[in-house]
Structure 1
């Protein structure tokens, strides 16, 4: 499948993403961010992941549903 580049306003993209179910959002995130980056994690990235996990465990993160 070929890829194309689209230009659209940021708010239109955010509004479109807000309508998607969580499993589709995870798929979009995976395909656009994670899947294309095959490099090893940097020390800073590992620290940020640890920080994010700690914040999630303490309930300090924002749930996607609350952004809708």
Structure 2
């Protein structure tokens, strides 16, 4: 993809983002801020994931009022 430069004020950019529907905002945020991990998990990461899943099964996690 070719790189291009544009000039836009922060206020105009924020206004543009606020006016978009939720689906468009989600796509933009995913493409800009979410980095896909391509490396395999390390042993430490695998252990942390296993421990977290076990805590979840035991009901030892904290309920978080996010997204609804």
TM-score by length of 2: 0.48
- Structure with max Cα Rg: 2
TM-score by length of 1: 0.48
Query: Greater share of helix residues, 1 or 2?
Result: 1
